[in-house]
Amino acid sequence: MKNLTMVIFGGSGDLTRRKLIPALYRLYKGRRLPKTFKILGVGRTGYDDESYRSHLKKNITEFVEDKERDNSSVDIFLSFVHYLSMDQSQEQEYTYLKEKIEQIDDIASNYLFYLATPPSLYERIPLFLKSVGLNKGRIVVEKPFGYDLKSAVRMNAIFKSAFSEEQIFRIDHFLGKETVQNILALRFANGIFEPLWNRNYIDRVEITAVENLGIENRGGFYDSTGALRDMVQNHLVQLLALVAMEPPVAFNEKEFRDEVVKVYRSLKPMNSKEIAKNVIRGQYMGVNKTIKGYREEKSVDAASHTETFLAMKIFLANWRWEGVPFYIRTGKQMPTKVSEIIIHFKSTPHRLFSSREECPEQNQLIIRIQPNEGCVLKFDMKVPGSGFDVKQVPMEFTFDKLGGLPMEDAYSRLLEDCISGETTLFTRSDAVEESWKFFDPVLKFWKENTDVPLYGYPAGTWGPLESETIIDGEKKWTNPCKNLTNTDLYCEL
């Protein structure tokens, strides 16, 4: 693509300043943007081009590290950025948008429309763009795509009435992470895992993506969203799909996304009894007046029942995974920020070294998405000396050993894909609906049964203890430490 005009709806919002503009600047600096480009931020705040540029300059300074940035290139980059103050929810205002685009774009460019607005606007913007003939180029939409199954189906229909599926990029930024893409390399570029990657050898899978922050200034959005819609229905189930999928015939937009959809279709539906047993939700509480509880956060209802923590046991109904529990968990205000996947292999069929005092644990493969990106394979070895003590030891790889991960974040990679029209890493309409089909009954169950417990947990802890009840037998959640190789349950962080 030689030229690009990108319009960011929600141009004065948080996502734009924290993620999109820094990512676009990185692409510019790396000469990865088209030769001629214009970026138009659109929003209600009353900036003009100049004041918008100085607002963004501050954010680039804050969110792009010193070594990646230099003042003169920031200024040149920003000279291609414009702003239009408009009410994005009003159809008549789109005429001004069209005029502004024509004014800044003198070459009838390729368009990229990015919806970084509150989700309530997603149903209107595509139609308003169509009404002024701007349904050209590509449209990118942030998650959550839909509020439940019904609204997701409705949204798909609205988007498709204005744009074709190839023009629609439903973004899930987890798929832009190097380490998430690396799950595919780990599984499908190595011969040793695939023969073991099934119900015969795997006991259970844990997927944890937790954060040590609260909801910051996103109270209004979060209180009507909650952890299930914010993290689980998209990011976590996407990670689950990468772990559980069959090898695609090829890594392309059709074959890869077909396999993702097949995983979603095999998510075993739960009845009310199973939901009550297998889904635990929680909400963080304040600690010592130093950390606010969720209900004290700005723009949050003082009696809110929104979950900030969710733990869930999920089964897949297919040949490979029948009977293997997938435990997934997410939460705000946890002890640390970490995302990791643990594959727990089954024990050996016969315990040869039964005389030892402590039985070593089963083999584990830990895939660390962030931080300390890498993986660890844990296996048992004999402790040197008399007797026959066996101890679990780690064999580890971290990305530092490959020269470290590139500084860029997931958004740079995904924006580059949007610009080049590469849809493989974006969620297809059928995937959104299949995933909602599984999670929708959970939301309905909560709505219809107001007595479903919402457990409080003190900010800075690993969530409600009740989340342990969904794990079978004596096993427990693995609470990851900053140090990748230390798996003591409540280790120091």
Interacting residues toward ligand BG6 by CB under 6 A: 211, 230, 339
* Residue 370 in tokens: 């962030």
CB-nearer residue toward ligand BG6: 22 or 360 = 22
In the complex, minimum distance from the CB of residue 358 to ligand BG6, in angstroms, rounded to a whole number: 35
96 by Cβ neighbours in 10 Å (0-12 / 13-18 / 19+) ranks as: middle
Which candidate, 96, 173, 101, places its Cα nearest to that of 140?
A: 173
Chain centre to alpha carbon of residue 25? 22
Which residue intervals of 195-328 are DSSP H helices? 219-223, 226-227, 237-244, 253-265, 272-278
In the complex, minimum distance from the CB of residue 370 to ligand BG6, in angstroms, rounded to a whole number: 6
Q: Which helix (H) or strand (E) holds 370?
A: strand 364-370
CB-nearer residue toward ligand BG6: 137 or 331 = 331
What positions carry a catalytic annotation? 235
The answer to whether the beta carbons of residues 264 and 434 sit under 8 Å apart is yes
Please, how many CA atoms are within 13 Å of residue 15, restricted to the half-sphere of its CB?
21
Within 8 A by CB and 6+ apart from 90, the residues are none
In the complex, minimum distance from the CB of residue 323 to ligand BG6, in angstroms, rounded to a whole number: 30
In the complex, minimum distance from the CB of residue 254 to ligand BG6, in angstroms, rounded to a whole number: 26
Residue of closest CB approach to ligand BG6? 230
List for the chain the helix, strand, coil content (%; round to 5).
40, 20, 40
CB-nearer residue toward ligand BG6: 151 or 212 = 212
The answer to whether the beta carbons of residues 270 and 317 sit under 8 Å apart is no
Within 8 A by CB and 6+ apart from 251, the residues are 184, 424
CB-nearer residue toward ligand BG6: 373 or 433 = 373
In the complex, minimum distance from the CB of residue 339 to ligand BG6, in angstroms, rounded to a whole number: 6
CB-nearer residue toward ligand BG6: 211 or 466 = 211
CB-nearer residue toward ligand BG6: 211 or 422 = 211
CB-nearer residue toward ligand BG6: 155 or 338 = 338
Partner residues linked to 478 by β-bridges: none
Which 3 state secondary structure label does DSSP give 227? Answer: helix
- Integer Cα distance of 459 and 3 in angstroms: 48
In the complex, minimum distance from the CB of residue 267 to ligand BG6, in angstroms, rounded to a whole number: 20
In the complex, minimum distance from the CB of residue 103 to ligand BG6, in angstroms, rounded to a whole number: 34
Which candidate, 343, 90, 307, 314, places its Cα nearest to that of 192?
A: 343
Which candidate, 439, 212, 222, places its Cα nearest to that of 339?
A: 212
Length of the chain: 493
